[in-house]
Amino acid sequence: MSAPIGLRDQLLRVNRVAMWPAVVVIFVVTVGGSFSIGLFELMNTTQVQARVLADNASAAMAFRDEKAAGEVLETLHHSPQIENAWLFLSNGEVFGSYRRDSAAMRNAPMPEREDGVQLHALYLTQSQTVSAPGERVGTFQMRVGLAGLYRQTALVGATAFGALLLATALYARLLRRLIVAALNPIQALTDVVDEVHSKSNLAARASGSHIFEIDRLSKGFNAMIERIDERDRRLARLAYFDKLTGLPNRTAFLERIAREVSLCDRSGRRLALLFMDLDGFKQINDTLGHDNGDEVLAMIAERLRRELRPSDTAAPAAPFELDDSMARLGGDEFTVLVSQIESVQNALEIAERLRASIAQPFVLEGRELAISCSIGVAVYPDHASDAANLLKHADTAMYQAKRSGRDTTHLYTATLTEQAMQRLEMDTSLRGALARSEFSLVYQPQIEVATGRVRSVEALIRWNHPDKGMIAPVNFIPLAEENGMIAAIGRWVLDAACADLVHWRAQGLDLRVAVNLSPRQIQDKRLVEDVREALARAGLPADRLELEITEGAVVDDFSHAIATLTQLRSSGIRIALDDFGTGQSSLSYLMKLPVDVIKVDRSFISRLQEDRLSRSIVEAIMVFARALGAGVVAEGVETYQQLSILQHLGCPLIQGYYYSKPVAPELIPELAACAWSAPLHSSKAAHRLVTQLAQGA
């Protein structure tokens, strides 16, 4: 399709096209009419002339007076269009003839029998009976040239043509002027549309018109623009503000950062971005409910507002717009933009003040609630070259504050980004690790002190990273928990451990395998099913599997954890409580856990020799375990002395480097075949050592 043409041109074109037929019709009618009228008149005239002449010549003919007839014929020279004329006697004889001087010599035609006219292209002939009073005496016939008529018609045609030409020109000129005048309101309306469309100027309004349709169009357009304007404003409000706290949202804040950054570029001053995240807000939501969580968020927003209100702020003195200097980015993330600061130190001071403000207890439903937050600070242009990076780096710094123990402020450093990059890289490779079969299991045996036999092995996962080599679980399990890979990895561990166990059992080894569960796995609703399926696939009795959990893994959702563990235990699976003694849970709380084995944390074992308190704790743990009817395993036993003391304390199972580090599954049959010596029974020195320690304590 060709480019659209203007309405004015289109109207002019339509008019031109529509005008021509009329012009042609007028021309044809004028010329044709003129010719017809001319011809009609000529015929009338000719007929009258013929009659008059016939009458005049009748007597001359009756008396055969040729001279008189000739005189009568001569009167025809008054009519210039008559070229020739003849008088015929009744017998057809030519009685008289007339020839105009300019006309050609012509032979007399045969006389017509009938009166009347005969039309030819260039002339007409008129016949008229000549009658004397008594009788018919002959015929008069004349030839009348049409050249005059044609000339006259041509003249009329030329005149009409000229007149029409002039009329058309005047008409076109007038029409153009009228069309332009008529289209002016439409042009104006189009301009307004352009203004609205291309410049997004919603303030533009179309003016009214005296033309009804255009007036309606203008009014309708205005009404439409007003509604769009209103809707835009409403959407802007929705789009730029967080409903809960009334603070600007992420979108508004990003725009604000961009504005401030460009202001800084001009003023040469600094801009700090404080990225705040509440510590453990999920727990508040989970334990107090989302409504209360929302209320806490609103209170925090209010507290931030108060803290940042310029009148209350001693330093920095630089004023800034309160409302969009803060924002809630979503969830429990708040940001504060501090413009026009002198130094990085200013920003840290403000962050600390905010943190202190948040640390004040909140009162919710009459209860006091302590909330801490972690704040990351990044400063433009020190830490970032643009708005997007400033936010990203403040986020990174906040994350670092979390990792370094929460409830703190962290200033962005470039290394943070490197760590973040590494994490990202790790994250990516972890996601493909299962598919690439980069995981493997190693097993550390647990030795029964009484018999020196391997009773159980703890499965420990290893990640054989293609670039970084072997990676310990502590370095990737937290990441797997974050990115959700933990569920898949957990299932793989279960299956692999079961498969190995099946293999060993085939060799006649009656072992138990212990598998670690991460906190996320315990929260996983499919856990029980997964475990039962793994056992069923391997065809193992349930009591050959031991699941190790930490107390930290159950505190997040205690009731659910209890339910899950109870279910598992009811199917015969043993539950071990790992790292016992390091958590912050109360004993009453721990007592509720359905547990078969308690694993004493390595931190107590490592200090057994020099620390009497550790020994007492281990003793107490064993008493506690016995009260629960649970077994005890000592972890991280590395020295002979530790082993001796534990044996003395009556610890039934030992795990640690003293006996064996974690080994590949192929080596387990060999280890299991050994009968491990029980040192205290054979070594007096050891006994003495233990006694000595007991006395020293």
Partner 1 sequence: MRASLRRLAPRLVALAALTSAWLLPCTRAAADELPEYRLKAAFVYNFIAYTQWPDSTSSTLHICTVGEDPFGKELDGLAEKTISGRAIAIQRKGASRVLGDCDVVYVSPSAMRDLPRILESIKGRPILTIADSIDAAKDGIMLNMAVSQDRVTFEANQRAARTAGLVLSSRLLKLATEVSQ
In the complex, the residues that contact partner 1 under the rule CB under 8 A are 58-60, 62-65, 68, 90-93, 132-135
Q: CA-to-CA distance for 644 and 649, rounded, in angstroms?
A: 9
Q: Is 691 exposed, middle or buried (0-12, 13-18, 19+ CB in 10 A)?
A: exposed
Phi, psi angles (nearest 5°) of residue 600: -75, 130
- Residue 94: CB minimum distance to partner 1, A: 12
**Strands 453-465 and 439-448: what pairing?**
antiparallel
Q: How many residues does the chain have?
A: 697
HEC profile of 343-392: CHHHHHHHHHHHHHHHHCCEEECCEEECCCEEEEEEEECCCCCCHHHHHH
Q: CA-to-CA distance for 142 and 106, rounded, in angstroms?
A: 12
Which one, 92 or 208, has the nearer CB to partner 1?
Answer: 92
- Residue 147: CB minimum distance to partner 1, A: 34
Which one, 71 or 215, has the nearer CB to partner 1?
Answer: 71
Count of beta carbons in the 10 Å neighbourhood of residue 549: 24
Which one, 134 or 508, has the nearer CB to partner 1?
Answer: 134
Which one, 128 or 374, has the nearer CB to partner 1?
Answer: 128
Q: CA-to-CA distance for 670 and 660, rounded, in angstroms?
A: 12
- Residue 135: CB minimum distance to partner 1, A: 7
Answer yes or no: are the C-beta atoms of 621 and 581 closer than 8 Å.
yes
- Residue 118: CB minimum distance to partner 1, A: 23
Phi, psi angles (nearest 5°) of residue 471: -120, 130
Beta bridge partners of 458: 444, 514
Answer yes or no: are the C-beta atoms of 642 and 608 closer than 8 Å.
yes
Which one, 134 or 629, has the nearer CB to partner 1?
Answer: 134
Q: CA-to-CA distance for 168 and 612, rounded, in angstroms?
A: 122
- Residue 59: CB minimum distance to partner 1, A: 4
Which one, 133 or 629, has the nearer CB to partner 1?
Answer: 133
- Residue 74: CB minimum distance to partner 1, A: 15
Which one, 15 or 90, has the nearer CB to partner 1?
Answer: 90
Which one, 128 or 614, has the nearer CB to partner 1?
Answer: 128
3-state secondary structure of 88: strand
CA 22 → CA 13, 19, 167, 334, 335, distances in Å?
15, 5, 12, 78, 77
Answer yes or no: are the C-beta atoms of 449 and 506 closer than 8 Å.
no
Beta bridge partners of 653: 448, 633
- Residue 71: CB minimum distance to partner 1, A: 9
Query: Which residues are CB-neighbours of 6 under 8 A, at least 6 positions away?
Result: none
Which one, 62 or 674, has the nearer CB to partner 1?
Answer: 62
Which one, 68 or 667, has the nearer CB to partner 1?
Answer: 68
- Residue 84: CB minimum distance to partner 1, A: 22
- Residue 55: CB minimum distance to partner 1, A: 9
Closest Cα partner for 660 from 651, 671, 669? 671
3-state secondary structure of 5: coil
- Residue 130: CB minimum distance to partner 1, A: 12
